[in-house]
A and B are shown apart, each in its own frame.
Chain A
Amino acid sequence: MGRKLLLEHINVPGINTFDVYRSKGGYAAVEKALKTLTPDEVVEEVKKSGLRGRGGAGFPTGMKWSFLAKPEGVPRYLVCNADESEPGTFKDRYLMTHIPHLLIEGMIIASFALGAKTSYIYVRGEMMPQIRILEKAIAEAKNAGFLGKNILGTGYDLELYVQPGGGAYICGEETALIESLEGKRGNPRIKPPFPAIAGLYGCPTVVNNVESIAATVPIIRDGGDEYAKIGIGRSTGTKLISASGNLNKPGVYEIELGVPVEEFIYSDEYCGGIANGKRLKAVVAGGSSVPILPANLILKTINNESRLMSYESLSDGGFATGSMMGSGGFIAFDEDQCIVRNTWNFARFYHHESCGQCSPCREGTGWMEKVLHRLEHGHGKLSDMDLLVDVSKKIEGNTICPLGDAAAWPVASAIRHFRDEFEWHVTNPTEAVSRNYGLSHYADPLSKPEEVA
């Protein structure tokens, strides 16, 4: 069993209430930080922990905190990014639903470290039940003296508010989130200036993912060095993985970074194998934006080494034969799934969610959706695959925010690894609408269960 730092007490009845959370050692990290450490020492612990942003980009959290400008007389803000919308990712919803005080505790620690007196948790609007859960948890914490004026008699004041979004994937991008929190459309800002210099209301701001903020609790409680001992190489600590698709046991799992992908998919401790006795065809390992990999490449790297659930191992081989850790949205496809149809579905998603500011993204995502639609419905041409790659290349890197890249990568990688399936859709248009292509050479390299027996 791997160590659990975030979900250790997830099955304790009533852990969503202040009293039970406190009885399990909750808010001890806040006491330690506020009473025995200076804000800079808290930042130092987080730096030592090696914690990398859990929202998708993987940027070191402690370093992000140390970039925050601290001009005299200007308020600073911490905003928690709970706009979880990346297809395949549902860990933050899970954490906020079942153990909301972990996020509140992390918010207090992080706000103290950054010198923020007012902090916001920006939750996607569809998560109204979670918004109510968080508001109740905030009220409980305030009652117990962990929020409001003069927290624990230390002289530190903090107000914490929950802000709902309006239903827009783009608001997960930090500057779009800030715009939205200011009551505007979610159009990402041109950077620089970065939010650390000019963010919310033009003031220095840090935006962190829910899981990153929650992870500061065990980091402060046990110390950054202890946290850094878990994991492998520069992938320290534990990570929440959202497992979905054709798995026996989809759900949220906390793993120690470095678990082999094969173990994660097939062991009973985690996903318990592919549902209905089918074989694995492909995996999207880090949310819909990251490159899709066929079964043989997700289980083993091109050098025939076992692939691990870590930032480095998942990206081993670059985009040619690797992928990315991303947000930890792990989507498994069985042998009956159609890669063309799924790629079209994702392309439609990005077209729908493009904010429309940058022409390459606004127009390009729509073209990719249309071309993929005709391929899926038996009207494609053999030249369409090159056309799609060409369009994706013209989006990638040419937009204000990473949504353009996020839209380009799934299409380019699907064609890179599954070109024969796309071509089969063109050369067998009637068959392609009535049945799927199947496994072909990306066959699950593991033996079938019956062959083992």
Chain B
Amino acid sequence: MLRVENVTHEPVEFSAALLSKFADLVSRYPEGRQKSALLPALHETQAELGWLSVPAMDKVAAYLKIEPIEVYEVASFYTMYFLRPQGKYMLEVCRTGPCCLVGAEKIMDHIEQTLGVKEGDVTPDGLFSWRGVECLAACGFGPVLQIGPEYTFYENLTTESVDKLISDLKAKANN
């Protein structure tokens, strides 16, 4: 079994909606190639559950008729899959060269101060976490950040627009 430190793994149930999405995904590939649905299936699972626990990954493996290790190795290779719980809103700020030329580092410092948690940690109210990510292919509109699971994009960030974004998200969560 995949070991992720300091994380408890409760059994999970998948909704009927999620299972029907799986069925649609599998239909896109030739007979016997259902493993191709793994990456999109993990995205859908994470969108429903917020992160990928070991029991969730095991269920995906069972659905796709592959070994659990085939899911773990993929989930731990790609950066978009969370192997531990995150804040409800994960702010992912581009930290690569072109965005840094226009102030991405300042934006990350500001987010760290405003939220009061280090990169990768979750705020005590469970609402926010943040991290720097590599190039998001929006270099002309930097600095940028994205928030999953819809991966909504926020461009040309300033400290003021980040403040507004955070307070808007707080208001949204409390309603």
Q: Known: A182-B35, A184-B74. Contact between A169 and B135, CB under 8 A? A: yes
Would you call B39 and A201 a contact (CB within 8 A)? no
A128–B77 touching, CB < 8 Å: no
A250:B140 contact, CB within 8 angstroms: yes
Minimum distance in angstroms from A340 CB to a CB of chain B: 13
* In the complex, B126 has a CB within 8 A of chain A: no
A185–B72 Cα gap in the complex (Å)?
Answer: 10
Residue A243, interface by CB 8 Å: yes
Name B78's closest neighbour in chain A (CB-CB): A166
Q: Which of A129, A167, A331 contacts B97 (CB 8 A)?
A: A331
Which has the most chain B C-beta neighbours within 10 Å: A75, A127, A251? A127
Stretch at the interface among B14-22, B98-106, B107-115, B157-165: B98-106
Q: Contacts A244-B142, A250-B141; is A182 near B30 (CB within 8 Å)? A: no
The answer to whether A45 has its CB under 8 Å from any CB of chain B is: no
Within 8 A of B (CB), among A76-125: 84-90, 92-93, 118, 124-125
Q: Which of chain B's residues has its CB closest to A77's CB?
A: B30
Partner of B140 from A165, A244, A288 at Cβ < 8 Å: A244
B123 at the interface (CB under 8 A from A): no
Q: Which of A123-164 contact B (CB under 8 A)?
A: 124-129, 159, 161, 163-164
CB distance from B144 to the nearest CB of A (A): 10
By beta carbon, the residue of chain B nearest A284 is B97
B96 touches A165 (CB 8 A): no
Number of interface residues of A (CB under 8 A): 56
Residue on A nearest B74 in the bound complex, by CB: A185
Residue A181 lies at the interface, judged by CB distance under 8 Å to chain B: yes
Please indicate which of the listed interface residues B81, B98, B150, B152 has the most CB atoms of chain A within 10 Å of its own CB: B98
Q: Are B74 and A349 in contact (CB under 8 A)?
A: no
Residue numbers in B under 8 Å from A251 (CB-CB): 140
Instruction: Choose among B28, B77, B150 the residue that contacts A166 (Cβ–Cβ < 8 A).
Output: B77
Closest to B34 in A: A183
Residues of A bordering B, CB below 8 Å: 75, 84-90, 92-93, 118, 124-129, 159, 161, 163-169, 180-186, 201, 242-246, 250-252, 284, 288, 329, 331, 333, 337, 341-342, 345-346, 349, 352-353, 355
Q: What are 12 A-B pairs with beta-carbon distances under 8 A? A: A87-B96, A88-B98, A126-B137, A128-B148, A166-B79, A166-B80, A180-B39, A184-B35, A186-B77, A244-B101, A245-B101, A246-B102
